[in-house]
Amino acid sequence: MTTTTTTVKSEKEAQKDRSQARQKEMIANHFKKLARAKEDGKKVVYTFVPGNLAELISALDMLPVLPEINALQSGMRKRSGAFIQEAEKAGHSEDVCTYVKCDLGMLKKGNIGPTDEPLPPPDLLLLSYTGCFTFMKWFELLREEYKCPVVMLHVPYQAGGEITQEMRDYVVAQLRDEVIPVMEKVAGKKLDMKVLQQHLALSRTAEDALVQVWESARHRPSPIDGYFGGVYYVGPIFSSFRGGQDAVEYYKELLEETNDRISKGLGPMTPDGVMPKEKYRLVVEGPPNWTNFYDFWRMFSREGATIVSSTYTRVGGLYDTGFRHDPDKPMESLADYCLGCYTNLNLPSRIDLLEKYIKDYQADGFLINSVKSCNSFSVGQLLILRQLEERTGVPGGFIESDLVDPRYFGKANIENRVQSYLQMLEARRNGGR
């Protein structure tokens, strides 16, 4: 197997389909709103992607800021390395999550966001803790910087592999008695339950369409890339737009675009254009690297390898296992969403989910990207690898990188591993072992 000699485009020149371009525009417009938030009289809530309470925030007419989104956007724009070094100069360890260090370094440099517009200070730090202890320490650091109110929603870990009624009741009680009263005080208004229900109904509509997009990967060729392309697909619903009409319109357009590709027998869009031929179907566990995102993507797309499903694109919600936000049960629905995020699942549940994806999408193989500074994903991944190979008979691969620290993306080493893995899949296909 040899790497193609297609001229390497810069990231700015990478080809995008309509939905990718629209998602980028939506994110940019949100940053513009944030830059004007104080003069427009808008309250700002800092929160995280897994288990985020987007519908509550928007129902109270506040704007969300998601530090992970800021960090990954900075990584894609080649800015995260300098921010990380700034945080390390201030004493933060090399082993700390690089999202955290990127965010803190950006703050120290004036808190100018990825689109070169200032990010407003938070009026509230809203921690809906889901599967990542680092979030708690991160917000402790931000609290010291901003001296603003903090409210925490403690979400029990799914140690037993299921959401129990006791767990649901515990989260609902916190929402009712602790979280919402603090949010109302900051917002300066009472929560209108009918408005919240309207937002939840819009979320449900968007979630239905997203699941249809994910499941389109059952087709051959898959019309989507469920990992690299998938981060564009989930951007609106996992960040600032879930619960709004913009998200509904985006996912309607994305589904139409996907169905059009199916009708034409087209594969997914890649940085070099439409993939000409699908040779390998893979499932991926773990987040992508953002500092070299398009280089990473091309290691697969130029060899005809399509990612038909991934766990990272479920980190903000496992909608394809049946969950939907329910306007008829608003508090219980919000609780189940927080409890059910991927990083809140135990290892057996994660293995079950990956096994399902491998079988449902008829994958030729699965690959683990072990991210150095993300314990929420990386702990237990070698166990996941062994058990999936035993259960499915499908061979696994293992590579290592990082989220937004360019020092931990060894392009040549990763590319060699990816190519060796794909060569092994080709040999198995031809009867070798």
Q: What is the pLDDT of residue 420?
A: 97
Q: What is the pLDDT of residue 271?
A: 95
Going along 277-389, which residue ranges are E strands? 280-285, 305-310, 365-371
Q: What is the pLDDT of residue 7?
A: 35
Is 360 within a domain? yes
Q: At what angle do helices 330-339 and 165-174 cross, to 10 degrees?
A: 110
Domain enclosing residue 140, as ranges? 13-429
- In the chain, how many domains are there? 1
Note the pLDDT tens digit of each residue in 158-209: 999 999 999 999 999 999 999 999 999 999 999 999 999 999 999 999 999 9
Beta strands 280-285 and 305-310 are parallel
pLDDT exceeds 60 at position 411: yes
Interacting residues of 113 by C-beta distance below 8 A, sequence separation 6+: 31, 34, 35, 70, 73, 106, 119
d(CA 236, CA 200): 15
Which of these, 99, 100, 113, 123, lies nearest to 29 by C-alpha position?
113
Note the pLDDT tens digit of each residue in 27-65: 999 999 999 999 999 999 999 999 999 999 999 999 999
Note the pLDDT tens digit of each residue in 4-30: 333 334 455 688 888 888 888 999 999
168: its two tokens: 């649901």
In the block, which residue shows the tokens 């999202």? 99
**Three-state SS for 235?**
helix
Note the pLDDT tens digit of each residue in 211-235: 999 999 999 999 999 999 999 999 9
Q: What is the pLDDT of residue 1?
A: 44
Is 320 within a domain? yes
Note the pLDDT tens digit of each residue in 349-387: 999 999 999 999 999 999 999 998 888 888 899 999 999
Is 334 within a domain? yes
Longest dimension (CA), the chain: 68
Q: What is the pLDDT of residue 2?
A: 38
Is 317 within a domain? yes
Q: What is the pLDDT of residue 352?
A: 97
In the block, which residue shows the tokens 């996992």? 238
Is 98 within a domain? yes
Is 6 within a domain? no
Q: What is the pTM of this model?
A: 0.93
Burial class (CB in 10 A: 0-12, 13-18, 19+), 133: exposed
Number of DSSP helices (H) and strands (E) in the chain, helices first = 17, 10
Cα 169 to its chain centre, rounded Å, is: 27
In which band, very low, low, confident or very high, does the pLDDT at 432 lie, cut at 50, 70 and 90? Answer: low
Is 338 within a domain? yes
Q: What is the pLDDT of residue 10?
A: 47
Note the pLDDT tens digit of each residue in 111-153: 998 889 999 999 999 998 877 888 889 999 999 999 999 999 9
Is 277 within a domain? yes
Stretch 379-404: mean pLDDT: 95
Mean pLDDT of the chain: 93
Sign of CA dihedral 194, 323, 369, 227: negative
Note the pLDDT tens digit of each residue in 244-282: 999 999 999 999 999 999 999 999 999 999 999 999 999
Q: What is the pLDDT of residue 6?
A: 36
